[in-house]
Structure 1
């Protein structure tokens, strides 16, 4: 039985690949037009032997993109330049020894070998070592934009608006079909189903995304669709998140009259909107947690602090009795006070926050009731009669007379006053 191998031959100025059969007496050559039929695994094996044998070690420079650490500890990424990309992997042992923290957009130099992943028919670069070679073109562009906008004051802390403590209306600007909106809705419904949510759908990736985001930010502000705005999307590479670093989007976020929470990607993802927003949340779910805090949360934290206080005091007392048994009662009491004082302060702070939240909500509700009472009293017919007015109806009719043209001479009318009523007969009418 013969083993097939791929041989590269040179004829004149071009390369001709041919299939060879290897046997005990050497190998024989098949011309390409007489090539035998191969299985997919055989062909992939030939390509694997050719590439890995021809490129046992390479060194390449490019821009890092889509840097993705996996749960296994391996890291997957892409190296690219203006004209091409190559997939790459760095295994756990090498990744742990990195002397810097790689990020999308960096320009790097990678040393390693080309391998073929036969199961998918793909080739990739297995990185043995990685070193920074400077910022990539895209990252450098974003850094320049960041410096310019920061110099204009768009990221200054004194521009930041405080978030409302108990918002009743939240506007969300994101893709209506992405994972981000599902996460936000799940958290808000679980924590505070009473919050009114307005979803402003927008394209979040690609050439159309910046204009869509700016348009929805303007809509939210024009119609005051929320007391706070969440703008964001799920995670992605530097290129995927590029719309959230667009200058027009950043300026629109900075100019918003409504407080904005930026919730773009994962905790490690950053974009320029994060600097312009009033608050950055590491994920869309975290943004929903921030806007759904309520008096119930405060009560829960108070109860948790109380339980922690009780457990902590009990545990520390037991340990103190064991370690400080020879101490005097006076010194033990002093030590106890030092231990519990921070917990007492925490409980006091939580109680004050709870009481403040309840008083504020009660004041709002009381004012609403007072305004409603004033309106109801003003519309009370009896109050209108008490000011000297009367209601005139024809005898036997419930319809009030509004004009003299509805009456004729000799009509009998009923006059209703603030107290009592009277009857009368019309002698004449005048327009």
Structure 2
């Protein structure tokens, strides 16, 4: 018998041996574990890991199987997966090809995070009134992240493109593993002590739920909430989350988005200035036009026309009143003249001189200068009397005075 220690196997040969040992004996197994690093592919297939405290196994669930599932898996979810073990020769790894999946309860990590989240929320760590506005035009930005990861490259590229003159300080720290919380705390303290930035970007690229745990560390979350410099949390991809997102002044879905949040695009800012300048100029021209229109109302010709328009009705009323007054005076004069003429006629009719015109005379007693109208008033014979005629006077003597008999 050939000693297996002396026999040399090709990689493919030993892989086939392992496959022959595993696959026939583990065709229908049920594995309980916590989902980690869940990655749905564009083809519809799901790729993820199942883990417990001591081990991890890769898993895949193809589209034909997962389309019948009544829930969407997520990192930290505790599930039971039934399927067959398959050896993937290209990578030299084994995985479980899931045919069925059911929830087995909430994962330990998610349960721990939810408990911590609720407790910190009750303390007011995530309160909205604690959050501050980001400075619109910061001169200095501090970036707290891994100096070798893709996140810092994305952040620097965006900052350079949007504001090349910005002063950026990268404070290196571990972003996963047991040392990460301590280094993040040290970085936050360093930035504040030396005033390295007017705003802080704290973040990393995507990863599994376990990879992101340092950003949910309770000491880190409290330090972010107490930080005197406005902070942006940019942990993982858009679907990822950490408790730092709730404690920071603002959450960004990605590190690149965080860089866009803390900087104004120079071209966009230039366009805004131009737009506002045009708005101010337009408002000034409108005010100037209104002022000119107001001044134009006081030009001599316009004032003369406005005065004439104001005066004309008054002059018309004056002319009408004058005509009415003249007409009334003429009517009154005619009426008075008629009344005077009637009075004159009446006086003429009552005048004794009018009687004289008809052949009568008036006799005066010259001695007494009285009119003698009755025989009893006649002076004695020989007395002088005056006889007034229509056109003169006759002096006569009384020869006889006798009573005339009535017929």
Question: Would the TM-score normalized by the shorter structure come out above 0.5?
Answer: yes
In the other structure, the counterpart of 2:140 is 169
Is 1:241 aligned to 2:201, yes or no? no
In the other structure, the counterpart of 2:63 is 92
**For the Cα contact (< 8 Å) 1:298–1:354, is it kept in 2?**
no
**What displacement does 1:257 show?**
1.4
Matches within 5 A, 1:340-359: 351=275
Alignment equivalent of 1:205, drawn from 176, 179, 191: 176
**For the Cα contact (< 8 Å) 1:298–1:353, is it kept in 2?**
no
Please give the alpha-carbon distance, in whole angstroms, between the structure 1 residues aligned to 2:244 and 2:69: 30
**For the Cα contact (< 8 Å) 2:199–2:230, is it kept in 1?**
yes
Please give the alpha-carbon distance, in whole angstroms, between the structure 2 residues aligned to 1:109 and 1:34: 39
**What displacement does 1:302 show?**
9.8
Alignment equivalent of 2:262, drawn from 277, 291, 296: 291
In the other structure, the counterpart of 2:100 is 129
**For the Cα contact (< 8 Å) 1:166–1:294, is it kept in 2?**
no
Matches within 5 A, 1:23-422: 39-294=10-265, 296-298=267-269, 300=271, 351=275
**What displacement does 1:142 show?**
1.1
**For the Cα contact (< 8 Å) 2:162–2:266, is it kept in 1?**
no
In the other structure, the counterpart of 2:330 is none
Q: Pick closer, same or farther for the CA change 1:301–1:39 going to 2, 3 Å.
A: same
1:83-137 deviation per Cα after TM superposition (whole angstroms, max 9, x unaligned): 2221111223333443223222111111111111123332110012222221111
Q: Secondary structure at 1:54's aligned position in 2?
A: coil
Please give the alpha-carbon distance, in whole angstroms, between the structure 2 residues aligned to 1:33 and 1:194: 67
**For the Cα contact (< 8 Å) 1:106–1:139, is it kept in 2?**
yes
Can you give the 5+ residue segments of structure 1 that lack an aligned partner in the other structure? 1-29, 304-350, 357-431
**Count of residue pairs brought into register by the alignment:** 280
Q: TM-score, normalised by structure 1?
A: 0.60
**For the Cα contact (< 8 Å) 2:144–2:173, is it kept in 1?**
yes
Larger relative contact order (CA 8 Å, sep ≥ 6): 2
Q: TM-score, normalised by structure 2?
A: 0.63
Alignment RMSD (CA, Å): 2.6
**For the Cα contact (< 8 Å) 1:299–1:354, is it kept in 2?**
no
Q: Pick closer, same or farther for the CA change 1:221–1:34 going to 2, 3 Å.
A: closer
Q: Pick closer, same or farther for the CA change 1:58–1:195 going to 2, 3 Å.
A: same
Q: Secondary structure at 2:47's aligned position in 1?
A: strand
Q: Secondary structure at 2:24's aligned position in 1?
A: helix
Q: Pick closer, same or farther for the CA change 1:34–1:60 going to 2, 3 Å.
A: closer
**For the Cα contact (< 8 Å) 2:163–2:266, is it kept in 1?**
no
**What displacement does 1:294 show?**
4.1
In the other structure, the counterpart of 1:316 is none
Q: Which has the larger radius of gyration?
A: 2
